[in-house]
Amino acid sequence: MADALEITVNGQRHRVTAAADTPLLYVLRNELGLNSPRFGCGLSQCGACTVHIGDRTVRSCVTPVSTVRGPVTTLEGLGTREHPHPLQQAFIAEQAAQCGYCINGMIMTAAALLKQSPRPSDSELRSALDGNLCRCGTHMRILRAIRRVARA
Amino acid sequence: MTPTTALASSRREFLKSTGAVIVTFAWPTSLGAQPARETSAAGVDAWLAVATDGAVTLFTGKVEIGTGVSTALAQIVAEELDVRVGRVGVIQGDTERTPNQGYTAGSKTIQQGGPPIRQAAAEARRTLLGLAAARLGVTPEQLTVDDGVVALRGDAARRVTYAELIGGRRFERAVSAPATTKRPSEYRVVGTSVARVDIPGKVTGAPSYVHDLRLPGMLHARVVRPPAVGSTVESIDESSVRDVPGHVRVVQEGNFIGVVAEREEQAIRAAQALKVTWHESARLPEIADLHREIRAASTTDKTVSSRGSITAGFAGAARTIAATYEWPFQMHASMGPSCSVADVTDERATIWCSSQGVFGLRGSLAKLLNRPAERIHLVFAEGAGCYGHNGADDVAADAALLSRAVGRPVRVQWMRHDEHAWEPKGPAMVMQARGAVDGNGRAVAWEYEVWSPTHSTRPRGDAGETLAGQLQGLPIKVPFIGGDRNARHGYEIDNERVVIHWLADMPLRVSALRGLGAPQNTFANESFIDELAAVAGADPVDFRLRHLRDQRAIDVVRAAASLASWQPRIGSAARAENPIARGRGFAYAQYENENAYVATVADVEVDRRTGAIRVRRVFVAHDCGLIVNPDGVRNQIEGNVVQTISRTLKEEVRFDRRRVTSLDWQSYPLLRFSEVPDAIEITLIDRRDQPSVGAGEPAACPVPAAIANAVFAAIGVRLRRVPFTPERVKGALHT
């Protein structure tokens, strides 16, 4: 067992029992019981596992838990069903999901982008999302949902 | 409440905790708490239950694969039963709790799954009105219903609720008694864009997928697949994983191998570390020879349609042309690799999976596990979008074998490379067309041949239909399905012959990928009708209209042309001086020649220097009969368009002589945000007087030809081989 590793997730401090090189994704899902970061590729190619560390987006599938410096925020920490983040509200308003498996990454990436650039141009928005894959083809709605918040 | 205890709460609590419509798969934390139900479709009770608090539950064999049907089916129930949609929960795909409605496939959920549900709800309402009438001492005709409250017309004080009438009890009525369903003119819920019930949970991290299922005492597993197609195990060196922390067991059944560990990351490590010596050989063709080999294969031939005389038609023609079209192997490419959780003991097997057909899969698993189907309980839980038969069934078999071996619940998720390499692929195909026009600009002869294997190897009762079964050498019976879908076009041509050449084998596993053979055949048919229009000196839209007689077909073609402000043109206006060439193409199809009508216009830009194609705008007119949820249909159309642009421009499963080499998103690229169109515009033609037909696949069909025809308009060359990569476009420009 590794030395006592601790990480802060969604404002709560947690002691981690996983080995130091365990990808953050499995700690979040299996130790903390969070659902939103999703295993898509394990290769940092699709974005389904995206979380924030501080204000940065990070691919949790390739981030060893021992390297995490700073507070982790997941989709659950962004907002809840009762108190949704504006992006979560916008994705509901635009019905911007089909299967929804990629949506965590879309919202987390958009949230980081809008923090940095509250009114992105269309090409800025598209290029910020270019590393996030969606197989259902929900792209048009995802763009609409994010623009809805960017305009607000 | 920690997430773990939230999951451990009973289904009742789970239902209570959500305000909106509830779609739930049975979280298995109270395994004994969900008694088996009557699942024979003959009785109302198989479909519907009203709880003591008035909550309505629909039990359906159809399942949510990301298309929004759980919402649409809830709308149908709410409509017929006169309750608000928010009162209707949906239990899907459970071999002990829902009727068997076959596969959720082929865009048939609303079309074929909807009518029996509508009937059952209408029968339930009639039963409830009868009970209310007796209770209130009036006749059913004197009653009205509003959100499950039955009241005497004109005296709202005399009322009784559904919950009071039947809450917690059974209807004991047959659905076969034909209850009168509402007339579409009376609809208040069907036909409206009710918000999808699953989206709020999915955007806030609620447990939504089979991947999120966590059973007490559950272990994690990974599979270790052969390095090449057809490899066999020579030996396994178990000492190679002895030191992996948490490692529990290596499981081998023939050439099926899995590793089980306490933690997920440990299972992944063990799968990477396990040393297996395989015997492998070069069984696959050179990829460059694939389509030649398909054409040369021995086949079972069947005439799909025949009219007039081909010989006479060609003999009397003014111009005759021919063309061959090729389609590669493609993959479902689900964003989430397949996952399943199984709890298999000597007595019982319970398997949670995202199969599109839990009843068919149960039969296959019965053979694989060698136990009666009655002792196997399959429960659907959503997966990532599958778009057909991906690894969802296979991984259920994996989980079952691994759980049986260790005697504890096991969760298996495939790694990305497992999914890419081993999911059943959408088949490669060859389509060949010969056609002729007369001097009046009319098509007079059409000869079409398609070479295809089956497009469905779904589990229907053989163990060999699962990958684990195949790896154990178990046999599979392969029916011929789907290669002839839309092989026949929808035009009136006097002399016609359409033939399919069925291949018995394919070098890679194949099965149903969205639309089966319809997008490929429509690519060929709609490209070729465009080629005929050009030699006839006709505008592509006008040429199509000349040969259409079905008014709905004509309407949808006109609607798409109007939406796009189509300007008539003849041939290609290609001018070599523009480095960025622009063009617009048209295509039309009626899905399966008898379901939804779709016409599509694509506006493309072709960069002559790089060969890159960019689809800028797409216009779609769509007629799927009575629309249950317009926004749901729009979402499906947009998705079909984007996904099919991706398939047309980018996607080809690569392989060498031994194995699939497209193992990640770099080697199997999908369309990205910077590449999706600027806009997709849609006209829905709502036919309130016509039955609903499916909307999950039809809009995919015209997309490849609309793009190919637009490229022809832009640069004057015909692309007949998918995908239209920049290299192929440049090659076509320089030949």
pLDDT digits over B620-663, tens only? 999 999 999 999 999 999 999 999 999 999 999 999 999 999 99
Query: From start to end of A63-149, where are the E strands?
Result: 72-73
Cβ-Cβ contacts under 8 Å, A94 against chain B: none
Structure tokens at B116: 């029996």
Same domain, A98 and A143: yes
- Choosing from A43, A77, A111, the residue where a domain stops is A77
Note whether A95 and A63 are same-domain residues: no
DSSP B54: S
DSSP letter at B175? S
- The residue among A32, A53, A77 that closes a domain is A77
Of A30, A28, A35, A113, nearest to A72 (Cα)?
Answer: A28
On whether both A48 and A86 belong to a single domain, the answer is no
d(CA A58, CA A72): 9
pLDDT of residue B34: 63
Secondary structure of B682-707 in HEC code, one letter for each residue: EEECCCCCCCCCCCCCHHHCCHHHHH
Pairing of strands B155-161, B429-437: unpaired
pLDDT of residue B14: 34
So what's the pLDDT on residue B175?
A: 87
Q: What is the pLDDT of residue B576?
A: 76
CATH of the domain at A147: 1.10.150.120
Q: How many CA atoms lie within 13 A of B301 on its CB side?
A: 10
CA distances from B146 to A80, B76, B122 (A): 32, 15, 15
Which candidate in B65, B203, B703 is best for mutational testing of the A interface (most A CBs within 10 A)? B203
Contact A101 B335 (CB under 8 A): yes
* CA-based nearest residue to B203, from A111, A33, A30: A111
A29 and A65 both lie in a single domain = yes
Q: Are β-strands B679-684 and B613-623 bridged in parallel, bridged antiparallel, or unpaired?
A: parallel
- Please indicate whether, in this complex, the C-beta atoms of A41 and B664 are within 8 angstroms of each other: yes
- What is the Cα Rg of chain B in Å? 27
Q: What is the DSSP string of B653-676?
A: --B-SSSB---STTTS----GGGS
Instruction: For chain B, list residues with pLDDT below 50.
Output: 1-33
User: What is the pLDDT, as a whole number, of residue B10?
Assistant: 34
Q: Do A137 and B214 touch (CB under 8 A)?
A: no
Boundary residue ending a domain (A60, A77, A94):
A77
Chain A contact present for B639, CB below 8 A: yes
Kindly give the pairing relationship between strand A56-59 and strand A50-53.
Answer: antiparallel
d(CA B352, CA B376): 11
Which residues are within 8 A (CB) of B44 and not within 5 positions of it... i.e. 6 or more apart? B120, B123, B124, B127, B171, B173, B174, B175
Q: Which domains does chain B carry?
A: 3-202 (3.30.365.10), 210-280+332-422 (3.30.365.10), 297-329+426-733 (3.30.365.10)
pLDDT at B177: 63
CA neighbours closer than 13 Å in the CB half-sphere of residue B378: 31
Residue with token string 């295993």: A39
- Rounded CA-CA distance B518/B523 in Å is 8
Six token digits for residue B480: 């011929």
Q: Do B413 and A39 touch (CB under 8 A)?
A: yes
Question: If you write DSSP's letter for every residue of B245-258 in order, what string do you get?
Answer: TTEEEEEEETTEEE
Query: How far is it, in rounded angstroms, from Cα B695 to Cα B678?
Result: 23
Q: What is the 3-state secondary structure (H, E, C) of B575-590?
A: CCCCCEEEEEEEEEEE
Which segments of chain A have a pLDDT < 70? 1-3
Name the CA radius of gyration of chain A, rounded: 15
Please report, as a single letter, which amino acid is at residue B609.
Answer: R
DSSP letter at B525 equals H
Question: What token pair was written down for B569?
Answer: 């043109």
Are B629 and B68 within 8 A, CB to CB?
yes
Contacts of B353 (CB under 8 A, 6+ apart): B210, B340, B341, B361, B378, B379, B380, B381, B383, B392, B393, B395, B396, B399
Tally of domains within chain A: 2
Give me the CATH number covering residue A21.
3.10.20.30
Residues A56 and A94 in one domain: no
Q: Centre a 10 Å sphere on the Cβ of residue B10 and count the other Cβ atoms it contains.
A: 13
Q: Considering the entire predicted model, what is its pTM?
A: 0.95
Query: Which among B3, B18, B673 has CB closest to A129?
Result: B673
Q: Domain residues for A13?
A: 5-77
- Please tell me whether residues A31 and A87 are part of one structural domain: no
Query: Closest Cα partner for B405 from B218, B252, B266?
Result: B252
Nearest CA distance, A54 vs chain B (angstrom): 19
Instruction: Verify that A58 and A101 share a domain, yes or no.
Output: no
The rounded distance, in Å, linking the Cα atoms of A63 and A59 is 6
Residue of chain A nearest B674, judged by CA positions: A126
Distance in angstroms (rounded) separating the CA atoms of residues B108 and B101: 10
Together in a domain, A114 and A124: yes
DSSP classification of residue B194: P
Residues A96 and A143 in one domain: yes
Q: What is the pLDDT of residue A113?
A: 98
- What tokens appear for B631 in the block? 């926004």
End-to-end CA distance of chain A: 49
pLDDT tens across B19-37, in order? 333 333 444 433 334 667 8
Q: Which of B531, B552, B634 is nearest to B599 (CA)?
A: B552
What are the residues whose beta carbons fall under 8 Å from the beta carbon of B24, sequence distance 6 or more? Answer: B11, B14, B15, B89, B90, B91
Residue to mutate among B618, B673, B674, B676, with most A CBs inside 10 A, is B673
Which residues face B349 on adjacent strands? B344, B376
Contact A40 B674 (CB under 8 A): no
Mark whether A11 and A35 lie in a shared domain: yes
Provide, as residue numbers in chain A, all residues whose Cβ is less than 8 Å from the Cβ of B18. 81
A28 and A48 housed in the same domain: yes
Residues A13 and A58 in one domain: yes
Contact state of A46 with B68 under an 8 Å Cβ cutoff: no
DSSP-derived 3-state class of residue B733:
helix
